[in-house]
Every structure is written in structure tokens, then in C-alpha cells.
Amino acid sequence: MTETNGGEDGAMEFNLRLYVAGQTPKSLAAIANLQKICEENLAGRYKLEVIDLVVTPQLAAGDQIVAIPTLVRRLPPPLKRMIGDLSNSEKVIVGLDLRPVGKVAP
Amino acid sequence: MPSDKARAPFSTTSVHLPKTPTGIGGLDDLTLGGLPTGRPTLLCGAAGCGKTLFAMTFLVNGVTKFGEAGVFMSFEEREKDLATNVHSLGFDIEELIARKKLVIDYVRIERAEIEESGEYDLEGLFVRLGHAIDTIGAKRVVLDTVEALFSGLADTTVLRAELRRLFGWLKDKGVTAIITAERGEGHLTRFGIEEYVSDCVILLDNRVQEQVVTRRLRVIKYRGSAHGTNEYPFLIDDAGISVLPITSAGLGHAIYDEAVPTGVKDLDAMLGIGGYFKGSSVLFSGLAGTGKSTFGAAFAEAACKRGERCLYFAFEESPDQVVRNMRSVGIDLQPHIKSGLLKFEAARPSLYGFEMHLARMHRDIEQFKPAAIVVDPISAFRGPSTEIHATLVRLADICKTRGITVVFTSLSAVDEQMSESERSVSSLMDTWISLRDIEADGERNRILYLLKSRGMSHSKQIREYELSDDGIHLTEPYLGPEGVVTGAARMAQEAREREAEHERLELTEQRTRQIARKRDALERQIAEMRAALDAEEDEVSKLIEHQNIRTASVASDRAAMARKRGGNR
């Protein structure tokens, strides 16, 4: 269940992973919220993977997933995590440092 | 619920609730079989109580003893640290992981790294745990310490709901789980999770008394099952964890009539049955340097020579030191140590509390199954006499029920006749031998006497004894008008006596010789007189003969004369 939006792998400035577990309301809300935020702020600059732990539970330990949904910002460094259904878009933008075009985190 | 069921034969108790044995010696006894199968158990205690080791032992024993795979979900320690930490208990975690019998999942939650936005749940934890359980078919699960989540996540309402769901989910999964939690103020756990895990609650405690730490365990609750309710000391050492359900037993132990030699021949003779009673407690008390340990070692050696196992608890000397010192009095313990019949357990008395010492001794006794025990010395225990007494009563109990003969030694203080420990145990001892020093004439000599020996007639004599290079020997002391004379004085006295005896002997001989001479002389005289008499008799008989002849001839002469005169009738 991987979605990419934008150019080639690795070339993307933002590499995001969203961990969900099945098609629960929270999971669906998180996916929808995240896609919206990304399109609005990072159009063309991000890669988004959605991982369903019901399908691939072995991936949970790797990223230290405890809460669901968890969004992991793998790139740019440092690694950041955000848990919740991402309904508070302000918090997501600030927390994950999803700044508009042109500005890259140091 | 009877409070004394820790002593009851647990295996015979009917068990309604299926139980999962922990493999931890003692704990399975006092919980009558183990933890409730398929239910979570809360293990709480303050920092450093051994919660993690306890939980890990549960899992490792599950794999090695009961063939049940386990999952360890650690919220505090990394996999590697855990493996290192429990290695000291002799557990090879890595090997178990490689065999796919154990999974360690380290859950790291760092509040600083996590932002929260909107609603969430802990499904990730469920997924991880579920995945781990399913991959190895685990039957046992440990969550150590799940409360770490509270410091990692802000929303405690969600957390509590999720924990409740987690414990329910664990039950549904049918795994036997241990959930560890930190002890909290006024609560069993800091975050009150005992609300959710209520089937079985075990409390670990680490108490410091008089600067000595004793670990204790208590089963606070066990739904659906009877359990031992007391606090029990437990040990964590290189042999793993052992809980010691020791309660003072009634005096219903079997008794033995057999005699166990003391290892000192002369002492055997003093005791009516030729030794101590099997299963009895013997106390040697005395001042420093009276040879208490030597008597203990002699007993140990004798036991080993009979091919029996002997356990030697040394609280003042190291095993090597004891062996060396005893060699000087002709007691060689080394070969017995080599053959495995003799085992030394040396520890500083201050190393643990009484309970702990007792617990350790109990475990050693259980494992080694000795026929004889030497505890050298009990006076090394310092503390309130009630505690010393309780400890020794239990030790004596343990030994009596198993028919083990115990020799205790106790150091008396110089100024008082009985030390604290002696006084408190004196009533407990079946045989009490007092060793004393007598200082006189510029030397020190040792005497012993039997203060008491239950159930047998015994010598009431005060005996002097010597520690020579071929063991202990008892000698008759000289009882003179000024009291007991020992050592060189005794020897002098003995020499004097020998001399007097010698003189008496000579005198008698002289008299015998004299009388013999007299008899000889007399007999010679008698012979002479008899000879004279014989000669006289001879003469007389000759005279009589002559007389007869003469008489006969006179008669014949007269007849002839008559005939010659012719018929003048």
C-alpha cells in the first residue's frame, strides 16, 4: 500500500511514512488528512508511503511503532514522529517542519 | 484461607484453575502450581527488586523446562542490555532467540521525538506483540515495564483505555503474561494499573534492615486460587531465582534412633548411644581457640568417611583456610571436597540478612541433600536475638524434617557464660557440649563436658581434651582436692601417682619374698624334725621287736625247764 506522489525515489526532499492498521476510521482519516496537507504544502516534493501493519506487522518494530496512526518523517533528518489522525493540520505542519517551497530544513 | 499452606503438600491440592509453572523454585509451591494460565499477572516492586530478572526467568524457564516459547516486550532495556544482564543468571538469551523460542522486542518511546496530533490508539503495540506471539507460537509474554508508556505518551485517558484493552486482548490470546510495574506511593503501582490486571498480583520488596538487604516476595492476590500469604524471602544469584517458602513447622517431624558418630572416638564413648542422634542439633560452645571448629570438622570428616554428604557453612573462615587449619590437627578434608562429598558454603554473615542466610542455606540443603551439616559459627550472626532465634529454629526445623544431623558452633564471649545467640538457641539444641579453657600454672588447658544430651544417658564427667596432630583425644582429668588438675599439672600428678604405685608394688613384692623365705626355713625345720621323729620311731619299733623276741624266748625257756623237772603237777 504505497503511494508516491512526485518524482523519482530518493530525489524527494520529504520522505514520509504513515503507519496504519487496517481500514479503521482513524486510519482513513489520517491518510486523508495527510494527503491534503502534503498536497497543499509539499506538492511535488514528497514521497509518501502508507504501511498497513495488519498486512505487514513485521514492519512495526523497525520504526518503533506503538501508537496508530504514526507518521514518520524519514527525510529530511532528523527523524520525526507524529501520532494521531493528523486532524490538526497546523500541528502537523509545525511538528514535521513541512515548510512551503524553497525552504529546506538545515 | 489457611495462612500456613506454604508447608502443605502442594501437589496434592486440587487445582481448578489451570496454572503455568514459573520454574522458580518455591514460587510454584506457594502459588500451588504457578501463575494463572492465560491470564496476566502483575509483578510490582520498587526499583532494583528484580522484576526484570523475575520476568525473564519465567520466560527462560518456560522455554528450557516446559517447552513454551515466550515474548519479552521491553520498554526500558535494549535487547542487548537485557541479554547481558540476565547472563549473570546463566541464561543464554541469544541462543534462545536463535532457536526461535524467544523474542525480545524493545519498545522505545521518547516523548521528545513524538508529536501528537489528533486521536490515536496503541494498535501498533498490539500488532507488534501479536506478530511476535504468532511467529514463535508463544505461550508466555512479559511486558516490562508497560508503565513506561505513561512517560512517553501524553494522553493518559487513551493510554488507560488501551492498557485495559491490551490486558483483555492478552487474555483472549490465551497467553500467560507477566506485567511488571514500578511500586507507587500509596498504590501498588505508580500509575495504578493494578486496576486492570487483577487476576494475580505479586509484590517484590527489597528491604534494608540494619544495613542488610533482604529481598522478599508476597502474593497479594490470586483470584480463584489459594496461595501462601506470607512474605517469603527470595534469592537472586548465579543459580537463578529461588523463593523460599519457609514457615516454622510444627514439631511433627519423624525421629531417628540411629547414632551418628561424632568423629571423636572418646566423645562417642561419652554419649550413651555412641554418637549424636541422627537428625539432632548439636551445639559446641566455647571461647576462642577451644577447638569448636575442629570438632565440627571432625564430625564432617567422619560423615564423609562413611560416604555421606556433608555441607559445611563457614561464616568466619574461607574454605581453604578451614582445610589448611584442620590438616594441622590430622583432619584432611581436601579429598572429600574433591570427591564431592563435602561442600563448603562460605559467606560473610553481614552479606545478607538472617532470612537471606536461611534462604540460602535452605536452597543449598535442598540441592545438595546432605546427611550432615556443620554451621561454623552461629555466633557470627549479629542482630536481635529474636531474629537469630527464629532463623536457627527454622534451620533446625529444616534439618530435623530431613533427618540431617547439624553441628553448630558458637563462640562465647570471655566475660559472659552464654552469648546472645547461645542463650536463644540453647533450648533448641538436643546435645550441647561446652568447651572450656582452664588457665593454671602458666598454661592453658582445654576441658569439655556434656551440658545436655536429650534422650540418652551420657557421661557427666569433665574431660580434658587435646588437639594433637592426629585428631582430638580426650583424657581423664585429675580430680584433686583443689579441683580439676589439667595439662602439665595433671601429668605431674600422674607421675607422682605412678611413683607411689610403684613403691607400693615394691613393698608388696618384698613382703612376698620375705614370707617365701620364712616358709622355706620353716619347711626345712619341719623336715628335720620329721626326720628326727622317724629315727626315734624306728628305734622304738626295733625295741619292741627285741622285747617280743625276749618274751617269746623266756616263755619257751620256762616250758623247757618244766619239762626237765618232770611231772610235779
Q: What is the pLDDT of residues A50-93, one digit of tens each?
A: 999 988 888 888 888 888 899 888 888 888 888 888 888 888 88
Residues 28-57 (A) with a CB less than 8 A from some CB of B: 29-30, 33, 53-54, 57
> In the prediction, which pLDDT does A100 show?
60
- What CATH number is given for A2-95 in this structure? 3.40.30.10
The Cα of B83 is separated from the nearest Cα of chain A by a number of Å equal to: 18
Complex confidence, ipTM = 0.84
> In the prediction, which pLDDT does A101 show?
52
Going from the C-alpha of B487 to that of each of A90, B323, B494, B531, the distances in angstroms are: 101, 27, 10, 65
C-alpha B302/C-alpha B309 separation (Å) is 10
Contacts 24+ apart (CB under 8 A), B61-66: B61/B21, B61/B22, B61/B23, B61/B24, B62/B20, B62/B23, B62/B139, B62/B140, B63/B96, B63/B101, B63/B102, B64/B23, B64/B96, B65/B21, B65/B23, B66/B20, B66/B21, B66/B23
Are B468 and B265 contacting, i.e. CB atoms less than 8 angstroms apart? no
The Cα of A32 is separated from the nearest Cα of chain B by a number of Å equal to: 13
Residue B455 has a CB neighbour count (10 Å cut-off) of 13
> In the prediction, which pLDDT does B90 show?
82
Cell of B453: 544430651
> In the prediction, which pLDDT does B534 show?
94
Cell of A27: 486510519
Is the bond preceding B377 in cis, omega lying within 30 degrees of 0?
Answer: yes
Q: Which among A54, A64, A68 has the least Cβ separation from residue B120?
A: A68
Are B303 and B311 contacting, i.e. CB atoms less than 8 angstroms apart? no
Are B357 and B390 contacting, i.e. CB atoms less than 8 angstroms apart? no
Taking 80 as the threshold, does the pLDDT of residue B252 lie above it?
Answer: no
C-alpha B288/C-alpha B176 separation (Å) is 56
C-alpha A41/C-alpha A46 separation (Å) is 10
> In the prediction, which pLDDT does B6 show?
41
How many CA within 13 A on the CB side of residue B489?
Answer: 18
Q: Which among B114, B115, B119 has the least Cβ separation from residue A91?
A: B115
Cβ–Cβ below 8 Å for B116 and A58: no
> In the prediction, which pLDDT does B536 show?
93
Using the Cβ of B155 and the Cβ atoms of chain A, whether some distance falls under 8 Å is answered with no
> In the prediction, which pLDDT does B440 show?
73
Are B279 and B431 contacting, i.e. CB atoms less than 8 angstroms apart? no
Match 503501582 to its residue by C-alpha cell.
Answer: B189
Taking 70 as the threshold, does the pLDDT of residue B349 lie above it?
Answer: yes
C-alpha B559/C-alpha B451 separation (Å) is 112
Cβ–Cβ below 8 Å for B152 and A66: yes
C-alpha B468/C-alpha B380 separation (Å) is 27
pLDDT tier at B527, thresholds 50, 70, 90: very high
pLDDT tier at A42, thresholds 50, 70, 90: confident
C-alpha B189/C-alpha B207 separation (Å) is 17
> In the prediction, which pLDDT does B4 show?
43
Indicate the domain borders of chain A. Answer: 2-95
Are B149 and A66 contacting, i.e. CB atoms less than 8 angstroms apart? yes
B120 neighbourhood in chain A, CB within 8 Å: 26, 67-70, 83-85
- What CATH number is given for B5-243 in this structure? 3.40.50.300
Under 8 Å CB pairs connecting chains A and B tally to 99
Residue A46: what residue type?
Y
Taking 60 as the threshold, does the pLDDT of residue B13 lie above it?
Answer: no
Cell of B537: 620311731
The Cα of A70 is separated from the nearest Cα of chain B by a number of Å equal to: 8
Q: What are the start-end ranges of the H helices in chain A?
A: 25-41, 59-62, 89-95
A79 neighbourhood in chain B, CB within 8 Å: 113
Cell of B508: 608388696
Cell of B551: 618274751
pLDDT tier at B415, thresholds 50, 70, 90: low
Question: Above pLDDT 90, what percent of chain B?
Answer: 26
Average pLDDT of chain B, as a whole number:
83
Cβ–Cβ below 8 Å for A57 and B119: no
Fold of B259-476: Rossmann fold (3.40.50)
B116 neighbourhood in chain A, CB within 8 Å: 82-84, 91
Q: What is the pLDDT of residues B138-160, one digit of tens each?
A: 999 999 888 888 888 888 888 88
